[in-house]
Structure 1
């Protein structure tokens, strides 16, 4: 069993780190810096932050009367609903934005990464993805949607997430019609040698891949279906002067024909492959043939999204859905072709994060209110999400370190969501007891928040080769 004094020491350290940003003094200073607080008023900055981020209310859904009652019952603060409405203004948005920005930039995000078999090759595993949700039509001028049926207004949140530590490296908030590739170009200068980027089609860019290679970073990406794949042509034609005809140097591969010849679950690597119609770029190409179940799931998802946008997928496009084509600059002796699909599947960890955001913390629950009130809810939720995630991944590292167990992100987030209000208030009132709440969170995660292991299905720890204990697998770890 972990010694209680050691557990207390760990939790006190976490509290000290969090208080660098989320302390009453720091919050009040931020409020003065942005002009949110100019003189003593009925509601203080830390109380307003509580209302927007930690009160378990949705600022754009719950009534002003409910907000007033919550402040009265929880903080003994008597403030009218009209006064609350007046405080939900542009300066309040700037205040919450600044708290969010400092929380993202502060070194409390420097969680210790889990040790894995890939550490020798990949220093960081970075996943960029986006999630979007509809918002009321009245916001269409500031948050135009992506188009298609019922997509008039929307918000898109771009997230770059480091897998081993759980750190949120970048978060960008914009309109639903925002381009993923633009975000990819914005973060290109933050890559370091040894970083591995797992990229979805939205971030596909040959220029981006070139930038990563220049920085001695690595990538695994899906290949867009409309990108031509070539191999060198054995029957090159020549002009009379001996120069080869450029049009005969390469031969295009029909990926649909290859897919028809492959078995379900089969992996095939094309040697000396080139991509692009004009400038042929040499790439490592790996093809994975989906199982029947995977194909049906993908087809249903793609057709559903296409229907929303009012488009129809061609027969050839549907056929190409049977395969996933990957490109990578990682040598096969480091990452064999039979592990490409598996390591790329780690991208789904970010989908778990988005599921937590929407199902547990309800970031997409929005009703038509004035735009400043909506933005206060949006940035309040983001502050809540970032702080909860910091705690969640700290707990994951501690559970692995002390008990060699894997925590479930969804279960852990659900547990933390029940404590986060008390944790925040303890920071504001008597942070000396905050560590006791964190100890309770840790014990609850240890008891009820462990990852469930389904037979034949690998978890995030399994794919990374993290040494831990479960019913099927015992590692030789020194206690």
Structure 2
């Protein structure tokens, strides 16, 4: 099984490399009571333990490994050097994945995309004591910007920022790694004409939700010209009123405008697809709007409420890709929400108690490392199960099972025990990991 050997090469760093990183970051424990391997075991043996357990509980865990340490001594080990040590491990792993070839999940699309990159941000509530370093909209908070490839599970972009930071700058920052024939799926937070132009310049594609208050224009059927024959810009386009379009559409119907111009002044050309939701979909959308009003500051515009039954998609995909396929492609964006849900709920990244900044940062980078390795291995296992057994594997179940075994897999690498652990994992997933697919959806596009 090739996917096993490929991820085995990535799993964590070689012991010599870990020692080198520890020296570079000056993370060298002078006392034998808490050497590097014991410290890593404490972080990775149980996801979320560093933030979820008290210092007394963590000391008890060390005692089981014949390491006696007081609460105060353990608390001192969570320092800036420890944070830098874990940060460098994550960055080395993040860079290593780009050098490796992973199997791609087969998706039956009209165009053979090189990757299907999904970008989104998710906020984590922090104790008020950390508000100074990571200010959120209310109290302390940190936001993780993440872009991953749905076809392979690779992470293309990761950024940690204060909880109150906007999404738009990250949408531009991550464009450095975009290549030809990449497909970028993103939500309203990254809706920006400059970003779309730069994606097109790289010969890549995008599908993005559009705001309900966006001004769209189409070519005028009766343009006016100057006496010299030059087109009058003022009369070249006419406004497209979505309120009128929704009246002509049936629930569940899609309508396409092959060429529209976005913005009153920018007039950026794009392709617009309008989808009118079914009664059930609209009900869920109205619930999201109501929830957003309760959780986020600001006033929701009346136009947003009036057009709540419409989903607006702008794209630069070629016209040979039908409008219905564009709507379905965008539904894959939800996959990153599943990843964030796994990270928060199953891996326990959200802190449970007050703690100093360095301890929480150690916890965060440890969870990022576990998260990266778990997603990479999960997506390779998903490909294996579909190819060999025609079984659609649940991402959440797989990520949870993999994350609980990451440290054991690290310890067993390059030994016969590795194969035993992988066989055990595959057996559990084959028995209990099937995805519960309700009705038709994007997952049915698997070839």
Change (3 A) 1:153 1:260: farther
Matched, 1:433 2:433: no
Matched, 1:361 2:352: no
Change (3 A) 1:436 1:164: same
Q: Which residue of 2 aligns with 1:170?
A: 157
Q: Which residue of 1 aligns with 2:10?
A: 18
Secondary structure in 2 matching 1:179: coil
Change (3 A) 1:12 1:251: closer
Out of 64, 82, 92, which is 2:72 matched to?
82
Out of 381, 386, 404, which is 1:400 matched to?
386
Give TM-score scaled by structure 1 length.
0.87
Instruction: Find the aligned partners of 1:51 and 1:23 in 2 and give their Cα distance.
Output: 18
Q: Which residue of 2 aligns with 1:185?
A: 172
Q: Which residue of 2 aligns with 1:254?
A: 241
Q: Which residue of 2 aligns with 1:37?
A: 28
Q: What's the offset of the Cα at 1:122?
A: 1.0
Matched, 1:94 2:78: no
Give TM-score scaled by structure 2 length.
0.93
Q: What's the offset of the Cα at 1:159?
A: 0.6
Instruction: Find the aligned partners of 1:386 and 1:67 in 2 and give their Cα distance.
Output: 24
List gaps (5 residues or longer) in structure 1: 1-6, 468-479
Change (3 A) 1:28 1:263: same
Out of 211, 216, 224, which is 1:229 matched to?
216
Instruction: Find the aligned partners of 2:302 and 2:211 in 1 and give their Cα distance.
Output: 16
Q: What's the offset of the Cα at 1:44?
A: 1.5
Instruction: Find the aligned partners of 2:79 and 2:236 in 1 and give their Cα distance.
Output: 63
Q: What's the offset of the Cα at 1:39?
A: 4.2
Change (3 A) 1:76 1:388: farther
Out of 29, 47, 51, which is 2:42 matched to?
51
Secondary structure in 1 matching 2:69: coil
Q: What's the offset of the Cα at 1:219?
A: 1.0
Matched, 1:118 2:109: yes
Instruction: Find the aligned partners of 2:201 and 2:229 in 1 and give their Cα distance.
Output: 35
Do the aligned partners of 1:109 and 1:168 also contact (CA within 8 Å) in 2? Answer: no
Out of 308, 311, 330, which is 1:321 matched to?
308
Instruction: Find the aligned partners of 2:43 and 2:29 in 1 and give their Cα distance.
Output: 20
Secondary structure in 2 matching 1:79: coil
Q: Which residue of 2 aligns with 1:413?
A: 399
Instruction: Find the aligned partners of 1:200 and 1:34 in 2 and give their Cα distance.
Output: 37
Instruction: Find the aligned partners of 2:332 and 2:194 in 1 and give their Cα distance.
Output: 24
Matched, 1:457 2:429: no
Change (3 A) 1:12 1:279: closer
Matches within 5 A, 1:266-305: 266-305=253-292
Secondary structure in 1 matching 2:158: strand
Q: Which residue of 2 aligns with 1:69?
A: 60
Matched, 1:129 2:120: yes
Change (3 A) 1:13 1:319: closer
135-144 or 117-126, which moves further after superposition?
117-126
Q: What's the offset of the Cα at 1:221?
A: 1.0
Q: Which residue of 1 aligns with 2:336?
A: 350
Change (3 A) 1:239 1:423: closer
Q: What's the offset of the Cα at 1:55?
A: 3.1
Instruction: Find the aligned partners of 1:29 and 1:106 in 2 and give their Cα distance.
Output: 16
Matched, 1:210 2:177: no
Do the aligned partners of 1:110 and 1:165 also contact (CA within 8 Å) in 2? Answer: no
Do the aligned partners of 2:258 and 2:319 also contact (CA within 8 Å) in 1? Answer: no
- The Cα RMSD (Å) is 2.2
Secondary structure in 2 matching 1:287: strand
Do the aligned partners of 1:93 and 1:372 also contact (CA within 8 Å) in 2? Answer: yes
Matched, 1:443 2:433: no
Change (3 A) 1:242 1:393: closer
Instruction: Find the aligned partners of 1:39 and 1:215 in 2 and give their Cα distance.
Output: 50
Instruction: Find the aligned partners of 1:66 and 1:197 in 2 and give their Cα distance.
Output: 44
Change (3 A) 1:97 1:264: same
Change (3 A) 1:309 1:120: closer
Instruction: Find the aligned partners of 1:56 and 1:273 in 2 and give their Cα distance.
Output: 48
Q: What's the offset of the Cα at 1:179?
A: 2.0
Question: How many residue pairs align between the two structures?
Answer: 446
List gaps (5 residues or longer) in structure 2: none
Secondary structure in 1 matching 2:251: coil
Instruction: Find the aligned partners of 2:442 and 2:220 in 1 and give their Cα distance.
Output: 42
